[in-house]
Amino acid sequence: MVIHSKHRSAGMAEEQFTAGRTRVGWVGTGVMGFAMCERVQTAGYQITVYARTPSKIRGLCEKGAVLVDSPMAVGERRDVIFTMVNDPSDVREVVLGTKGILSGVAPGSGTVLVDMTSNQPSLAREIYEEARAKGCESVDAPVSGADKGAKDGTLAIMAGGRAETVAKLDPLFRVMGSTTYLGPPGSGQSCKIANHIATAASLRGLSEGLVFADKVGLDVSKYLSAVSRGVMGSKVMGLFGGRVIERDFAPGGFANYMLKDLGMALQGSEEMGVSLPETALHHQLYMSMKANGDGFLGCHVLITAIERLSNHSLPSPPLSTHNCNYKPCTSFSDFLPGGGIDRALFLKVGT
């Protein structure tokens, strides 16, 4: 059974969460998490937030969000709690740790935990069982759509868990994007891993095509415009093609996150006996980017790995006078809200 959030089954009668009444907790306010949380707040939901760096969420607090000092505090007296953190170890800590969300949730409260991090399916199932044992619910709902999708509310949300619980979350999910129900706990995470298997292949194809086109003397902008009208046209090309040509590698999703997800894919494939030769190659390419210090740039920085292998780089665009706010990246925290870099003006010049 597949349920799209904008076409909810009438047979699912559990009362939905609604703005003005539902109390929302949020843990994880990085590039994606901040934009998603901000959309939920703007839709009229009361927000309680935990952030490791409180200064990064000043804008949310100025609009009425309540800042607390631990994930456990978020768990107290919240109806729905979203997590959008870095990796499985962070998810385990903020949900199942001694000061984690479940430690603060009252037994039998019916609180719903929604993990939107790209996570291990096995951990999603573990969290589901722990939540159920405490009289709560859990849904794994990773997303795809990068920073633009998070800001515009056009994310693809891949949900696993009880269908009734996913339907109950529909009003909140619709604020962030469009949801597909995949099946039991862990199904959303499995879908996200498969999504990144395909995304990495598309990014490598985009990168190799651009390097080849430039090497043979084509105008890469015209090349991109031409092929985008054919079978090669895709969301990956539309979202990242122009950024690659402009050497704009500010992250919508970090290269390190792609590396993590491809690693989970390879681990799962070994356990299941599934051959993923291209995924193994992509994992190594992203590993090379991490080794070269590019792990906290966007996942489309993959082109730099192809350029190094080819000893040929796309030309760097000139810094024009309107880029007066440009400053070089010093760490991934520069890209978080309040970090000082204008996302639209950041350029990584050269390779």
CA separation for the pair 242, 254 (Å, rounded): 18
CATH code: domain of residue 245: 1.10.1040.10
Which residues span the domain enclosing 240? 191-335
Annotated catalytic residue: which of 192, 215, 222, 235? Answer: 192
**Mean pLDDT on 227-233:** 89
The reply to whether 231 falls in a domain is: yes
Tokens found for residue 197: 């298997």
Q: Which residue type is seen at 237? A: M
**Mean pLDDT on 143-158:** 94
Q: Which residue type is seen at 204? A: R
Closest listed residue to residue 221, CA positions, set 257, 247, 202: 247
The reply to whether 348 falls in a domain is: no
Determine the pLDDT at residue 216.
97
- Concerning whether 168 is annotated as a catalytic residue, the answer is no
Q: How many domains does the chain have?
A: 2
Q: Identify whether residues 63 and 20 lie together within a single domain.
A: yes
Q: Identify whether residues 180 and 204 lie together within a single domain.
A: no
Give 19-65 pLDDT, tens digit per residue. Answer: 889 999 999 998 899 999 999 999 999 999 999 889 889 999 999 99
| Four-point Cα dihedral 256, 260, 266, 268, nearest 10 | -170
Cα→Cα distances 310→63, 155, 208, Å: 50, 34, 10
Q: Identify whether residues 275 and 291 lie together within a single domain.
A: yes
**Mean pLDDT on 264-268:** 95
Please report where in the chains the tokens 């665009």 appear, as a residue. Answer: 317
* Least confident window among 86-95, 120-129, 271-280, 338-347: 338-347
Q: Identify whether residues 90 and 146 lie together within a single domain.
A: yes
Q: Identify whether residues 201 and 177 lie together within a single domain.
A: no
* Least confident window among 232-241, 257-266, 312-321: 312-321
Q: Identify whether residues 43 and 94 lie together within a single domain.
A: yes
Determine the pLDDT at residue 322.
37
Q: How confident is the model at residue 343 (pLDDT cuts 50, 70, 90)?
A: very low
* φ and ψ at residue 6, rounded to 5 degrees: -85, 0
Please report where in the chains the tokens 């159920």 appear, as a residue. Answer: 132
Determine the pLDDT at residue 318.
64
Q: Is the pLDDT of residue 256 over 80?
A: yes
Cα→Cα distances 98→55, 114, 288, Å: 25, 19, 36
Q: Is the pLDDT of residue 85 over 80?
A: yes
Tokens found for residue 177: 């994007």
Q: Is the pLDDT of residue 247 over 70?
A: yes
* φ and ψ at residue 143, rounded to 5 degrees: -130, 160
The residue ranking higher by pLDDT, 333 or 227, is 227
Q: Which residue type is seen at 325? A: N
Determine the pLDDT at residue 351.
36
Q: Identify whether residues 15 and 130 lie together within a single domain.
A: yes
